[in-house]
Amino acid sequence: MSTKQSGQNKLHLILILGLLAAIGPFSIDMYLPAFPDIAKTLNTSVSSVMLSLSSFFIGISVGQLIYGPLLERFGRKKPLYVGLTIYAIASLACATTLSVNGLIVYRLFQALGGCVGMVASRAMVRDLFDVKDNAKVFSTLMLVIAVSPIVAPTLGGYLTAYLGWRYIFGVLITIISIILAGVYFLLPESKQPDTSFSLKPAAIFNSFATIIKNPQFIIYTLTGSLTAAALYAYISGSPYVFMVLFKVSEKHYGWIFAIIAAGLIGASQFNSLLLKKYKSEQVMRCGIYIQSTIGIILVVLSVLNIQELYITIALIFAFLGCQGCIFPNASALSMAPFGHNAGSASALMGFLQMSIGALMSALVSVFQNGTSLPMTGIMAFCTLSAATLYTFGSKRITNNTTKEMVEEEEIEMVSTL
């Protein structure tokens, strides 16, 4: 479809694609304020509830590898119908579960269904809009998606406070029903099925193996994945740190999360301004070293048991602000060498990012000791590991990227916030 279509049609398309990409952050952020309430209702601990977030990350990582080939073979809309239906059924199961183990399993299937929106939305931007307009479309899409990590935790906090955590999943079912209707009535099929596309595991594996052998891909992907894992460690540990240790209410936690999320999103916009004067690698390098310094400060405060709410919020705000200058550039640089197989490279990159994120999220729960150290320690470990890998690995690699690619990766970052 060309951009010769009417402006109103473009707006409808961008809104639907933005909602598809926002399924992830809404599913993650809306139930974070409910962790203590879920633990109380299901007679378990907050650290056990955290594992339902880790299982969600695992579902997203595996799902991206599944939907990439399916969207090529069967077109865009059929996999969307299947994935969104799975999401709705799993959400109903989450709303009615009576055990934390059930919640962990159902969240896995919820992610396996919902991540089709993340994969399909990016592919359909390329399908539906002229290449020359892609950067502008990604920037607009960013504004649509950015609303979710700001609104979702606040809405989740109020729902938990006044109605109970099960209603959060009821709201998610309502949202996914609206998205399904939009996909059916307003979203055109942007790519016809390709029966020549092989779904044989050997062919898919060989494609991934070729990509992962590229030094630029693996170094920048792992650098970006490790810093992203610090974000997932924060998402997993912040309910305990703020609501249990600092004893803030569900509603206030929602506002805290929203403010920090707004800082991260704002930093990604600042990143776009920096790229007018500096190269992606220069911006990323500066962000990594500043973030590593802040990570060390967070660990020192945790070890010394210096617990001050506003200092903690400010430091995490600055730490994740650096993420807006690291992740999009690292991801875009890792994708720079690829052309015809960019879809497979993107799927593999997403799998590695979410897998490492799921592991670090789970470790925050495993190491839970009643302090903020598990969260801040994992955050610092991730960013220091990324800095070390980048320092020793990037010397043999030089490749420029484009503003369009960076803006696309900014969307991916916010889609998992």
Confidence of residue 162 (pLDDT cuts 50, 70, 90): very high
Which pLDDT value is given to residue 339? 56
Amino acid letter for position 70: L
- Label residue 192 exposed, middle or buried (CB < 10 Å: 0-12, 13-18, 19+): exposed
Which pLDDT value is given to residue 361? 92
Q: What is the mean pLDDT of residues 363-374?
A: 93
Please state at what angle helix 46-73 crosses helix 215-238, rounded to 10 degrees.
140
Confidence of residue 4 (pLDDT cuts 50, 70, 90): very low
Q: What is the DSSP letter of 165?
A: T
Which pLDDT value is given to residue 2? 44
Please state at what angle helix 100-128 crosses helix 7-21, rounded to 10 degrees.
150
pLDDT digits (tens, 9 = 90+) for 34-85: 999 999 999 999 999 999 999 999 999 898 888 888 888 888 899 999 999 9
Q: List the chain domain ranges.
A: 7-190+198-415
Average pLDDT over all residues of the chain: 86
Which pLDDT value is given to residue 7? 55
Q: What is the mean pLDDT of residues 223-231?
A: 93
Q: Does the pLDDT value for residue 335 go beyond 90?
A: no
Long-range contact pairs involving 394-398 (C-beta distance under 8 Å, separation at least 24): 394/219, 394/220, 394/223, 394/281, 394/285, 396/215, 397/215, 397/216, 397/219, 397/220, 398/281
Q: Does the pLDDT value for residue 346 go beyond 90?
A: no
Which pLDDT value is given to residue 3? 43
Q: Which residue has the higher pLDDT, 401 or 317?
A: 317
Architecture of domain 7-190+198-415: Up-down Bundle (1.20)
Which pLDDT value is given to residue 150? 84
Q: Does the pLDDT value for residue 174 go beyond 70?
A: yes
Confidence of residue 397 (pLDDT cuts 50, 70, 90): low
Residue 164, by phi and psi: left (phi above 0), alpha (psi -120 to 50) or beta?
left
Q: How far apart (Å, rounded) are the C-alpha atoms in residues 23 and 34?
A: 18
Q: Are 291 and 330 in contact (CB under 8 A)?
A: no
pLDDT digits (tens, 9 = 90+) for 257-307: 999 988 888 887 788 788 888 888 888 999 999 999 999 999 999 999 888
Helices (H), 97-199: 100-128, 134-162, 166-185
Q: How far apart (Å, rounded) are the C-alpha atoms in residues 133 and 392?
A: 37
- State the number of CA atoms in the 13 A half-sphere of 295 facing the CB: 27
